Amino acid sequence: MSGIGTGYDLSTSTFSPDGRVFQTDYAQKAVDNSGTVVGIVCNDGVVLGVEKPIVSKMLVEGSNRRAYAVDRHAGVAVAGVAADGRQIVNRAVQEAVSYKNLYGDAIPGRVLADRLASYVHLFSLYWYSRPYGTASLLAVYDDDGPQLYLIEPSGAGHRFFGTAVGKGRQAAKTEIERLKLHEISCEQGINEVAKILHSVHDEEKPFEMELAWICEASGREFKRVPAELAAAAERQAKAALADSDMED
């Protein structure tokens, strides 16, 4: 970051001479340091997976949720600053309710992604606000089928077949690219996501995995993956990891 100390990083309302907004770059850094969040679109739905570092042995299991339903047909997993993530989730809920109020139908994925991106973008426009240090993976199942979107702190929004953010994103993305996404179902998808999260994880520290999906098996509703399935996926991921370690 060549801009540090040059005065171009103090506000989102100032560009650096080479065309960057440093505050949004820093916000992106907050995301990059976070636990890995993975999303893949399978042939029958979307799977989201979150790697949650366990910050204390005294932490109650299941605390600090990172994947939230925002309507029956849509959910968000957030990486980065958790508190900022709550704001984005709340906004997504409001947008979904307001769309339903106005048009009497569930909000389409691209509209929700667009509105969330615009909302996040607002915070990089004024000197008095700081951008959200959060990237959101948005999983939707609407009339156009299952979709996955990524909304970055800058306000950029993209649609993906599969992507990852956070610490292990590079390795995770490489792994995702190896998958034949249109050939696997979400039941297989959760195993793949679990494997990826375990393989990119720095082994020293304990972590909890949060899996959520929206697919036929969940009744096309965004739900946490049932505990038995999630546990099975985790066992299978650990076994696969142990196998590959043996080969090494």
Partner 1 sequence: MLPVPTSHSPALGPGCAGPSLAYASASTRSDIAPPSAQQPCCGSEPFMVDPSAAAGLGLRRHTDTPYVTGTSVLGITYKDGVMLAADTLGSYGSTKRYKSFERLAKVNDATVLGAGGELSDFQYIQTLLDELATEDYCADDGMQLTPREVYAYLSRVLYNRRNKFDPLWNSLVVGGLEGGVPFLGTVGMIGVHYTDKHIATGFGQMLARPLFRERHRPDMSEEEATELLHDALRVCYYRDKQTTNKFQIAKVTAEGVSVSEAFALETQWGYQAFVNPAANALGTW
Q: Which is nearer to partner 1, 9 or 71 (CB)?
A: 71
Position among 12, 42, 46, 115 found at the interface with partner 1 (CB under 8 A): 115
The reply to whether 70 sits near partner 1 by the rule CB under 8 A is yes
Position among 97, 125, 231, 239 found at the interface with partner 1 (CB under 8 A): 97
**Shortest distance, position 39 Cβ to partner 1, whole Å:** 18
Position among 102, 227, 242, 246 found at the interface with partner 1 (CB under 8 A): 102
The reply to whether 142 sits near partner 1 by the rule CB under 8 A is no
**Shortest distance, position 69 Cβ to partner 1, whole Å:** 5
Residues near partner 1 (CB under 8 A), total = 21
The reply to whether 63 sits near partner 1 by the rule CB under 8 A is no
Q: Which is nearer to partner 1, 25 or 221 (CB)?
A: 221
What is the rounded distance in angstroms from the CA atom of residue 157 to the CA atom of residue 37? Answer: 16
Binding region for partner 1 (CB under 8 A):
68-72, 91, 93-98, 100-102, 115, 118-119, 221, 223-224
